[in-house]
Each structure stands twice: as structure tokens, then as C-alpha cells.
Amino acid sequence: MGRVLLTELVVRNTAPPKKGQKSVFDTLIHGFHLRISYGGSRTFCVLYGESRRRITIGQYPVISLAQARAEAKLILAEKTLGRERGTVSFKTALEEFLEYKEQSNKASSFAETKRLLTKYLLPEYQSEALDRITARSLADTFKRRVKSRGELTHLHKVTKTFFRWAVKAQYVPYSPSEALEDPRRSASRERVLDKPELAKVATYALSEGSGTFGTIVALLILTGQRRAQIAGLRADMVDVAGGTISFPPYLMKSGKGHTIPLVGRAAAILKGAVNRQPRRLLFPARGHPDVAFNGWSRVKVAFDRNCGVTDPRWTLHDLRRTFSTYCSELNENREVVERVLSHTVNTGGVRGIYDRYRCQTDRNVDPRSASNLDPSIA
């Protein structure tokens, strides 16, 4: 942020940023500033109070510098006298929130947050006062506009993040999103594919016509891992000879490295993938060899149609729950299964790669059997 005497020359000629927005603060009136977007639009604003609450005055040149400065003085005077000013709009708050997130989040995370909020909420609440948005209104919007359960889960999460930020910024007294039902807690999130369904999904996933998505699905069935881990695999993470896959921290939800055994059909699949892509991502996006596969929703529609599962509402994460459930049915040692799934196990410290997957029991189970969900599949 810069601080200069705002003049007509400064307002007209200050160069826009290469991305996002930048603010140029006036030296005459504390809090009065010009916000310039990367597209070149110029807006007069004023910040006031300990929370640094921002009020948008108007765009230049519709509003002149002299008019904007006079309005800023009035706003600050009213604040000093203790009178309330009109509430911020959803659109204005969203612009501020996205500016904040762009500076604090990874590019991919910011892009997804922006996409969800601008696609689903901005068209509904563009002119709405932020404090007039209710939990019922949000629930109705979600139900009417969002068709994918996975999309709904992600939108629910970023909406809560946005309104929590708005509460901290003192734009609203409470977050209406806190009253929304979490999609992850609904009955469908307890879904476990039954054996006929799992057989159909696995059979088609292992067929030649299932493509990259099918190969990823097959590996999810066989390993119990998350989709981002499998999609992000590179050749140097796979040790076919040593029989392990080592996921780096950046692919893990926990932020910690994770190594699992590699045997059976999963080993054969990854050996072929490594041979085809020895120095790159094993499962890249189409036309982008350095970007991990990401066309989940679109491709799954065709996959469901071709695999023959009559209820397509299952998700890829359901395969992880299915893996865990059938391992229990096979009486696999729970510590072994939890370690393969990268869940926390209260066993007191790391004991090396071999000991992560081998637990001495009365049956002396080979821990690698935990990655063989069904002998007929593996």
C-alpha cells in the first residue's frame, strides 16, 4: 500500500497492478484511498475504525476526486459521532475477501474459492446487503443451483470461510452459514458400495476403455488412498522393485509424508504407468503434461453410465470408506488398515517404513494383505 497526496494526476496515471488490486492512500484524510484493479478500474474507498472496515464511495470518473474526498470526510465524521453507516453489500465484501485470499492462499486454492463463490453466490446476492442474507436463503440457493454433492461440499466450506471472515471484519454480527447442514454429515456420506456395485465399478475401471479416470478409480479401490494422492503421483514416488509408494507431504491432507505397500494388481498398474511416463506425472490432465488429472465431475458421469451402477450418487471418497469396511470384514488388523489410510494410530512413535505396515498379532498377518481388498480383483 502506498501513501501519497491524491491528485487528479495521481488518480488518472497510477499504473494498475499485474494481478489483483492495490490501494493508494491519501496523506490528507486518514483512511481515504484509491483502489485500482489489474483491469484498470479505479474506485474511491475509506477505511475506518479499529477493524479497518472499508466503505466503497464510488468509481472514478463517475465520482470525482473532490466529491469522493468530501464523502470520505462525511463518513469519518459520522463514525466519530457514533452514527451507523449503511451496511456493506455482498459484492463489495466478496471483492475484499478475494483480495485477502489471493494474498494468503495457494494459487490453486484461491482459484477454486473464487470460482465457487462467483459462480453460485454472486449472481444471487450481487446487490444484496450482506447482513440481509439468511441461512434459509443460502440453503435454498444451494439446493436450487448446485447439482453435484462434491461441489456442494466444497461450496459449503468456502461459504463458511467467507462469512467467518465477514464476522471478523465486523460486516455482520454472526455467520448465517453456521446454521447450514454440513453435506459431509448427511446419510449419503456414509455410503459403502455393496459387493455387486464394487465389482461393476472395478471391472470397468480395469478395462482398457476406462481411460485415465478408470485407472485412478482402480487404484483408489486397491489402495484406499485419496484421489488427490493418486492423481498427483509421479514416477519417482513409486518403487516397484521395493514394493512401496511414497507420497510427499504436499499431497497429503495431514501435511506429512506417507508410504504404503505396493503389491498385486496395483503394482502391475503402476509399473505400466511408470514405464509410459518415467519422468512426469503418471496421470496428467489432457493436453497438460505437468498438471495432475482434474476433470472429476465431467468424466464420472460417463464412467457411471458405462460401468452399469444403477445409483450414480456414489463418490470417489466412498471408495476409501468401502476399502476400510471390507478390510474389517476380512478381519484385517485395524492398526495396519489405519496406517495404510494415513489415520492417526496411538502406538507411540515412528518405527521405520517396515514397522509402519507390519503389526505382530496372534495370526502374524502379512500387512500387505490390507491393500488387497478382494483377491479376485487384485
SS3 readout for the chain: CEEECCCHHHHHHCCCCCCCEEEEEECCCCCEEEEEECCCCEEEEEEECCCCEEEEEEEECCCCHHHHHHHHHHHHHHHHCCCCCCCCEHHHHHHHHHHHHHHHCCHHHHHHHHHHHHHHHHHHHCCCEHHHCCHHHHHHHHHHHCCCHHHHHHHHHHHHHHHHHHHHCCCCCCCHHHHCCCHHHCHHHHCCCCHHHHHHHHHHHCCHHHHHHHHHHHHHHHHCCCHHHHHCCEHHHEECCCCEEEECHHHCCCCCCEEEECCHHHHHHHHHHHHHCCCCECCEECCEEEEECCCHHHHHHHHHHHHCCCCCCCCHHHHHHHHHHHHHHCCCCHHHHHHHCCCCCCCCCCCHHHHHHCCCCCCCCCHHHHHCCCCCCC
Q: What is the pLDDT along the chain (378 residues), one digit of tens a residue?
A: 458 999 999 999 999 998 888 999 999 998 899 999 888 889 998 887 666 777 888 889 888 899 889 888 887 876 665 444 456 889 989 998 998 888 888 888 899 999 999 999 999 998 888 888 888 889 889 988 888 777 888 899 999 999 999 888 878 877 888 877 777 655 445 688 889 999 999 999 999 889 999 999 999 999 999 999 999 999 999 999 999 999 998 888 888 899 999 999 999 999 999 888 777 889 998 888 888 898 888 888 889 889 988 776 788 989 999 998 888 888 888 888 888 998 865 543 322 322 233 333 333 334 344 344 443 343
The whole-number pLDDT of residue 116 equals 94
* pTM (predicted TM-score): 0.48
The whole-number pLDDT of residue 356 equals 31
Delimit the CATH 3.30.160.390 region(s) of the chain.
2-86
- Report the top-level CATH class of 91-183: mainly alpha
Delimit the CATH 1.10.150.130 region(s) of the chain.
91-183
The whole-number pLDDT of residue 201 equals 95
The whole-number pLDDT of residue 187 equals 43
CATH 1.10.10.10 fits 191-371, yes or no: no
CATH number for the 2-86 domain, one of 3.40.50.12780, 3.30.160.390, 1.10.10.10, 3.40.50.620? Answer: 3.30.160.390
